[in-house]
Amino acid sequence: MTVKEFELPDVGEGIAEGELVSWQVSPGDTVSEGDIVAEVETDKALVEVPSSYDGTVKELFAEEGEMVPVGDVIISFNVEEPEAGDAEAEAPDTENKPGESTEEAKTDTEEAASAETPDGRVFAPPAARRLARELGVDISDVEGSGPGGRVSEADVRAHHEKAEEHDETAAETPVNPAAEDESAGASAGAAASTTATSGEAAREKTLAVPATRALAEELGVDIDAVPTEKTRDGQPFVEREDVRAFAQSGGEAAEAATASASATGEGAREETVPYRGVRRTIGEQMAASKYTAPHVTHHDTAVIDELVETRADLKETAEEKGTRLTYMAFVLKAVVAGLKEYPILNSELDEEEGVIRLKNYYNIGIAVATDAGLMVPVVKNVDEKGLLELADEINDLATRARERSISPEEMQGGTFTVTNFGAFGGEYATPIINHPETAIIGLGAIEQRPVVEDSEVVPAHTLPLSLAIDHRVIDGAEAAKFTNTVKEYLAEPTKLLL
Amino acid sequence: MVVGDVTTGTEVLVVGAGPGGYVAAIRAAQNGLDTTLVDRDAYGGTCLNYGCIPSKALISATDVAHDARNATEMGVHADPVIHTDEMQEWKEGVVDQLTSGVEKLCKANGVNLIEGEATFVDDSTARIAHGGEGQGSETIDFEHAIVATGSRPIQVPGFEFEHDPIWSSRDALEVEEPPEKLLVVGAGYIGMELSTVFAKMGVDVTVVEMLDGILPGYEDDVSRVVKQRADDLGIDFNFGEAANEWEETGDGVVVTTENEDGEESTYDADKVLVAVGRQPVSDSLDPEAAGVEVDEQGFIPTDDQARTNVENVFAVGDVAGEPMLAHKASKEGIVAAEVIAGEPAALDQQAIPAAVFTDPEIATVGMTEEEAEEAGFTPKIGEFPFRASGRSLSTGEDEGFVRIVAEEDAGFILGAQIVGPEASELIAELALAIEMGATLEDVASTVHTHPTLAEAVMEAAENADDQAIHTLNR
């Protein structure tokens, strides 16, 4: 029998931690590879963590409800000793364990290696230790290639280069979100990837002068999370203004504030609610968007008597086909028609490259209120789908978002977002753009309202529209013209047939 | 400032010219730093003048006599006569050669040498009082200071070294006329080394020790080998007794000891050697004036770059804490000098070897089996007895053994204990092995010269995997 430790895998691009919602096993339980051992709520979704081993559960290292950083050991197993001959075959396996069905879970082999040595002992010759000091590498993080994991100078160098590459990639991520799905992509008005959109870093080591560290502590900012492109001696270097900027943009400061508020203990007059998981992602995302993009909101009202009729006509037919036809399907179609005419609203600003990326595909995010908070599933390639297909997909995504069974991928890759706050009533709002998208349209409640027709006030079904734009990219005139187009299509839905 | 002071400036002020200080000074100068080395006494410090070197000289000299006297088994019959004064002369010659060598090396590397006693004024100034009346003093401004003031023998109350019959280790090493009867207080490594020297000179040696055995800190099966030889040399041991008082009689002294139960014993002796340990010298320098913290025992705490709590003040060697070993001091001195020069040096050694020059020698490095277990390893042990070594038998020195402690999985060597002939030399291979992260297989697979004692190291490594050829694998 050997003891195998299992770390919280990387459950989604750049997610740094997850809340351990529940354990599905207890110490002593027998598990097989692939069995679900825990449920972890990440920034975006509830993820099931499967076992990578056959064996019995030895120990659980996290409490339910605890926030666990990716890479921390959460559970250990007693596992049958592998045959001696298997030892080598097993080694590369750690990179890509089977049973990580949900996500590209990845255990950190380096940490695994060092965790095996008692006493924190690293077996490395003096020259390698000196090199590690020179490069600022913590030698206990280096994976040794020698017999038994002995660390050579080459290993230290390789680790250092890998770390630098990693840093570069991290810095580039937000620059290149055109690549759909994979990276920053953008997803939910609220719930996009932490790394990509809030620009939060997750370094192991950060150089900073003591005053900067003190400031970070004061502001409750994790200095390793402060984004920077500056380096000193090849190491990421953070200065005071970076810490301030990060703290303002959300960062971890709010969390620290919550923590200290609860520490002061105001008795029953106050209650603290943890600011984390989906809530925190929403917060960070909103702050990042609002502080980055100068928002301008354009309001208008579409008169949609005809649409109401059309929908009423089609509703029964749709129901016969098993589809609940909603206004949202029509709205998406109208929006795409507008976007095709004014592609600047289906874009993204790449400041790094100094370009505006216009998207020739139409992935429309739909903001959905859930118990956990706002989620934005994305309907892909709306222009290629029919009304019924869209309606089905919207309903499905919304249902699964509410049930929290939606996967992070289904909330990524959006190019424009629609938010239907009108479902709860109200007319106009000032929506926050799902950064790095450049526009979002908000729908008020569809109601009969007085409109002037031929110099007379008459009742008509109207849909109030609130279009927020990133004024760096889009001008007010374009916003107005786009809104006019959308209005036209909503007013005369038969146009959508063209 | 005192009238007549001359103020000079230096980038690095090193206080104390022992193996910590002079090595630091030379390395600092090699790194292009303007370096000043101050010592109130002698270049080379305790090690060269009153410690390692003179004691080893006397150990070797008395070994020659002792071995010659006891070589009848080899067919050699001799009755050597020891002329202690000549032995001292030779020893002094060795010491002089080394200390003048240190002085020359310092000068050749451009180190400024000053004789005098340094005292901190603040964290960038020290005053150097030159030796003797009317010799004046000077003030030195420094950017960095390295404190390497060493240690001195601990005095037992009542047994102060100013009394003529009471010897410190330094007095013992300078003896011109060996006493007939010597009482040694303390059975640590200094007491044991010197007891052996005097026993081999033909002195009647009695040892009293407060603890219940010799050489505390070493494993029983290691110290037992030395104890056995000491018994054979006629050294009389009395454990569990503390020296209480002494009084002069007509032709010597009577020392009264007391055991735990309050029972007293008395010992007649001509001289009393007090060797109960050493304590750091940190008082005369007034480290507090520079803001440097000193702990209750007088040690100056340092970090892994030999830096004290004051940014520009470093401390190395005995004054910076245990183990009080010359080679540890030198390593720290080098690190301090390199850190000052801006290099990424650190005290990151995995182990510091130690040797006791008893008969036979003891040398250790790294962890014992027990320490490895405590650290969380599953230790794997390999041993080889010297009586199974051809070279050992052919020198007539066949007691003791080599033991290697390794970790179970990959066989990384964690520690070694050697008791036996040339243990102090043999340990170097295992110190290198530990430092390099070598495994049992690395040592076992290295071809060792035959016939040498070093083969015992190889065989001990093989024995850990039950592969030794010349001993039965347990």
Q: What is the pLDDT of residue A6?
A: 79
Mean pLDDT of A31-50: 77
Which among A72, A107, A142 is the end of a domain? A107
Contact at 8 Å (CB) between A70 and A15? yes
Q: What is the CATH number of domain B166-276?
A: 3.50.50.60
Q: What is the pLDDT confidence band of residue A403, given thresholds at 50, 70 and 90?
A: confident
Mean pLDDT of A271-275: 79
Is B450 an annotated catalytic residue? yes
A359 inside domain: yes
Residues of A in contact with B345 (CB under 8 A): 130, 133
Q: What is the pLDDT confidence band of residue A120, given thresholds at 50, 70 and 90?
A: confident
Of B77, B130, B448, B450, which is the active-site residue? B450
Nearest to A187 by CA among A468, A377, A14: A377
For residue range A361-388, what is the model confidence (pLDDT) as tens digits? Answer: 999 999 888 877 788 899 999 999 988 9
Mean pLDDT of A329-340: 93
Residue B184 has pLDDT above 50, yes or no: yes
Which among A107, A128, A148 is the end of a domain? A107
Mean pLDDT of B244-272: 93
- Please give the tally of structural domains in chain A: 2
Tell me the residues of chain B between 418 and 457 that have a Cβ less than 8 Å away from chain A.
Answer: 435-437, 439, 441
pLDDT-above-90 percentage for chain B: 91
CA angle, B455 then B457 then B458, to 5°? 65
Tell me the residues of chain A between 80 and 119 that have a Cβ less than 8 Å away from chain B.
Answer: 118-119
Residue A13 has pLDDT above 70, yes or no: no
DSSP string, B105-163: HHHHTT-EEEESEEEEEETTEEEEEPSSTT--EEEEEEEEEEE---EEEPPPTT--TTS
Which among A107, A135, A153 is the end of a domain? A107
The CATH number that applies at residue A341 is: 3.30.559.10
Residue B237 has pLDDT above 80, yes or no: yes
φ/ψ region of A123 (left if φ > 0, alpha if ψ in -120 to 50, else beta) reads beta
Q: What is the pLDDT confidence band of residue A439, given thresholds at 50, 70 and 90?
A: very high
Single-letter residue type at B72:
T
For residue range B357-386, what is the model confidence (pLDDT) as tens digits? Answer: 999 999 999 999 999 999 999 999 999 999
Note whether B344 contacts A150, CB cutoff 8 Å: no
What does pLDDT average to over chain B?
94
Residues of B in contact with A130 (CB under 8 A): 344-345, 348
Q: Please state, in angstroms and rounded to a whole number, the distance separating the CA atoms of residues A70 and A61.
A: 13
Note whether B435 contacts A134, CB cutoff 8 Å: no
Residue A99 has pLDDT above 80, yes or no: no
Residue of A133, A146, A148 with shortest CB distance to B344: A133
Note whether A123 contacts B348, CB cutoff 8 Å: no
Residue of A130, A134, A150 with shortest CB distance to B437: A150
Single-letter residue type at A151:
V
Q: Please give, rounded to a whole number of angstroms, the shortest distance from the CA of B200 to a CA of chain A.
A: 42
For residue range B3-60, what is the model confidence (pLDDT) as tens digits? Answer: 445 568 899 999 999 999 999 999 999 999 999 999 998 999 999 999 999 999 999 9
Note whether A126 contacts B375, CB cutoff 8 Å: no
Residue B312 has pLDDT above 80, yes or no: yes
Nearest to B354 by CA among B419, B437, B438: B419
For residue range A58-86, what is the model confidence (pLDDT) as tens digits? Answer: 888 888 878 888 778 888 888 875 544 44
Give φ, ψ of A178 to 5 degrees: -60, -30
Residue of B345, B410, B436 with shortest CB distance to A148: B410
Residues of A in contact with B376 (CB under 8 A): 118-119
For residue A18, list its beta bridge partners.
Answer: A68
Contact at 8 Å (CB) between B144 and B228? no
The structure tokens listed for A383 are: 């222009």
Residue A242 is inside which H or E element, if any? Answer: helix A240-248
Q: What is the CATH number of domain B7-152+279-340?
A: 3.50.50.60
Tell me the residues of chain B between 351 and 390 that have a Cβ less than 8 Å away from chain A.
Answer: 375-377
Which alpha helices (DSSP H) does B385-422 contain, by range? Answer: 390-395
Q: What is the pLDDT of residue A114?
A: 40
Mean pLDDT of A386-410: 87
Where along chain B do its domains lie?
7-152+279-340, 166-276, 354-464
Q: Please give, rounded to a whole number of angstroms, the shortest distance from the CA of A195 to a CA of chain B.
A: 33
For residue range A454-473, what is the model confidence (pLDDT) as tens digits? Answer: 899 999 999 999 999 999 99
Mean pLDDT of B320-324: 95
Active site residues of A: 471
Residue of A118, A148, A150 with shortest CB distance to B377: A118
What count of residues does chain B have? Answer: 474
Q: What is the pLDDT of residue A252?
A: 46
Q: What is the pLDDT of residue A194?
A: 37
Contacts 24+ apart (CB under 8 A), A314-319: A314/A387, A318/A388, A318/A391
Residues of B in contact with A121 (CB under 8 A): 350, 375
Note whether B437 contacts A124, CB cutoff 8 Å: yes
Note whether B344 contacts A134, CB cutoff 8 Å: yes
Note whether A150 contacts B411, CB cutoff 8 Å: no
For residue range A127-177, what is the model confidence (pLDDT) as tens digits? Answer: 899 899 888 888 988 988 888 889 998 899 999 888 877 665 555 444 333
The structure tokens listed for B318 are: 């005995």
A90 inside domain: yes
A279 inside domain: no
Note whether A123 contacts B437, CB cutoff 8 Å: yes
Q: Please state, in angstroms and rounded to a whole number, the distance separating the CA atoms of residues B221 and A84.
A: 36
Confirm or reject contact between B348 and chain A (CB < 8 A): yes
Confirm or reject contact between A129 and chain B (CB < 8 A): yes
Which of B367, B368, B439, B440 best tests the A interface by mutation, with the highest count of A CBs <10 A?
Answer: B439
Q: What is the pLDDT of residue A302?
A: 93
Residue B319 has pLDDT above 70, yes or no: yes
Residue B152 has pLDDT above 70, yes or no: yes
Give φ, ψ of B473 to 5 degrees: -80, 125
Residue A389 is inside which H or E element, if any? Answer: helix A387-403
Q: Please state, in angstroms and rounded to a whole number, the distance separating the CA atoms of residues A357 and A206.
A: 33
A135 inside domain: no
Residue A109 has pLDDT above 50, yes or no: no
Question: What ipTM is given for this predicted complex?
Answer: 0.76
Note whether B375 contacts A121, CB cutoff 8 Å: yes
Q: Please state, in angstroms and rounded to a whole number, the distance separating the CA atoms of residues B64 and A209.
A: 62
Residues of B in contact with A146 (CB under 8 A): 437
Q: Do domains B7-152+279-340 and B354-464 have the same CATH topology?
A: no
Confirm or reject contact between B4 and chain A (CB < 8 A): no
Contact at 8 Å (CB) between B358 and B207? no
Confirm or reject contact between A126 and chain B (CB < 8 A): yes
A458 inside domain: yes
Q: Please state, in angstroms and rounded to a whole number, the distance separating the CA atoms of residues B111 and B24.
A: 10
A361 inside domain: yes
For residue B38, list its beta bridge partners.
Answer: B15, B114
Fold of the domain spanning B354-464:
Enolase-like; domain 1 (3.30.390)
Residue A356 has pLDDT above 90, yes or no: yes
Q: What is the pLDDT of residue B46?
A: 94
Is the preceding omega at residue A125 within 30 degrees of 0, hence cis? no
Tell me the residues of chain B between 258 and 317 that have a Cβ less than 8 Å away from chain A.
Answer: none
Residue B426 CA: distances (Å) to CA of A280, A367, B218, B420, B430: 62, 75, 17, 10, 8
Residues of B in contact with A151 (CB under 8 A): 437
Q: Between chain A and chain B, how many beta carbons pairs sit less than 8 Å apart?
A: 42
Domain span at residue A435 reads 294-497
The more confident residue out of A295 and A411 is: A295
Q: How many helices (H) and strands (E) does chain A have?
A: 13, 20
Q: What is the pLDDT confidence band of residue A185, given thresholds at 50, 70 and 90?
A: very low
Mean pLDDT of B81-91: 96
Mean pLDDT of B203-222: 95
Note whether B344 contacts A146, CB cutoff 8 Å: no
Confirm or reject contact between B342 and chain A (CB < 8 A): no
